[in-house]
Amino acid sequence: MVEHKVIVDTSVLLAASLNHVCQEEGNLQIEDNFHKISKPLFEHFEMNIDKEYGIITYEIELSAKTQIVNAFLKKIAQKNKIHFTTINLNKYSFSLIKINEALDRNIRLLTRVPINERELTEILKKVSNFYGKLSRNIDKLNPQTRINRRVRSVNFGLRSFERIFATEDESKNFIIHPKLIDKLKRHPPDLKDYRILAQAIYIKKRDKSGNTIVSITSTDYHFSKIRLEDGSLHDYIPSKIEQTFHIKCDWPDEILSLIK
């Protein structure tokens, strides 16, 4: 029988926890942008608590507890058009208590898995090499390079027609390629991202039955599908992760559909 284990990234844990009516701001609704697609996953965890779907590591838990206050304050700052570092924490003591309580409730729905750091170090090397290769290979997806290659492959007299057809075929890649460049080169994954993927691989390796599907749910584009302007999703990064490490990475609503 197939089992599902879902490692909840900090981004999703924060999103599911940050939905609060701030009395200090005249009952202002403070909600994470991804709350609506994150909270239902935790509701499913709660309804199926005996199955222990949700997984957390100490590192992710600590990261969420460290970031939750700033996540709240940044929302307040956006509403008031000020910098969040200028906000008086004491003014929002009641709200801060409430959002921390919400975070704690969500954490209690997850099973904490211990991680062997020695084994993780070896896995981290593989993850680092993986993202390095992914970044280098991104140049091969350059749509203009692909168009030029197609044009050169046909007879000279047909090249103008081939360029038209090739440009049409590559139209979506002109949107996708700059986003991949941004996520993998201009803003590459950091050690935190490496460690989350490495932890998922570690948990996958611990499964001796071979019947467990291990997933990461995240709103971080270094793991999950890239959302395009038309609302569609592009899966270049998560598909490569799944092909290489057999770890599925997706948005929380997509993971919920998978485990239901």
185 has pLDDT over 80: no
Residue 144 Cα to chain centre, angstroms: 29
pLDDT of residue 231: 64
Q: Give residue 158's domain range.
A: 117-259
Whether 104 and 153 share a structural domain: no
Q: Which residues contact 26 (CB under 8 A, 6 or more apart)?
A: none
Whether 163 and 252 share a structural domain: yes
The total number of structural domains that make up the chain: 2
Backbone angles phi, psi at 20, to 5 degrees: -145, 140
pTM score: 0.84
112, 145, 178 - which closes a domain: 112
Look at residue 21 and give its three-state secondary structure: strand
Confidence bin at 225 (pLDDT 50/70/90): confident
Whether 126 and 85 share a structural domain: no
Whether 122 and 242 share a structural domain: yes
Confidence bin at 229 (pLDDT 50/70/90): low
Residue 6 lies in a domain: no
Whether 186 and 253 share a structural domain: yes
From CA 18, how far away is CA 33, in angstroms rounded?
9
pLDDT of residue 230: 64
For the stretch 108-140, pLDDT in tens is 999 999 999 999 999 999 999 999 998 888 777
For the stretch 211-223, pLDDT in tens is 899 999 999 888 8
Mean pLDDT, the chain, rounded, equals 89
pLDDT of residue 208: 78
Residue 229 lies in a domain: yes
81 has pLDDT over 70: yes
Q: Which residues contact 184 (CB under 8 A, 6 or more apart)?
A: 131, 134, 135, 138, 222, 237
Q: Which residues contact 150 (CB under 8 A, 6 or more apart)?
A: 162, 163, 166
Residue 49 lies in a domain: no
Whether 179 and 231 share a structural domain: yes
**Token pair of 52 as six digits:** 């222990």
Residue 71 lies in a domain: yes
Whether 64 and 147 share a structural domain: no
Residue 1 lies in a domain: no
Beta bridge partners of 30: 20
From CA 77, how far away is CA 116, in angstroms rounded?
40
Q: Which parts of 11-136 are beta strand (E)?
A: 19-22, 28-31, 54-56, 111-112
Confidence bin at 145 (pLDDT 50/70/90): confident
Q: Please, are residues 222 and 241 in contact by the beta-carbon 8 Å criterion?
A: no
Instruction: Please tell me the least confidently modeled range out of 42-46, 150-154, 198-202.
Output: 150-154
Whether 91 and 125 share a structural domain: no
Residue 123 Cα to chain centre, angstroms: 19
Whether 106 and 121 share a structural domain: no
95, 112, 129 - which closes a domain: 112
Whether 86 and 137 share a structural domain: no
Whether 94 and 124 share a structural domain: no
Whether 154 and 240 share a structural domain: yes
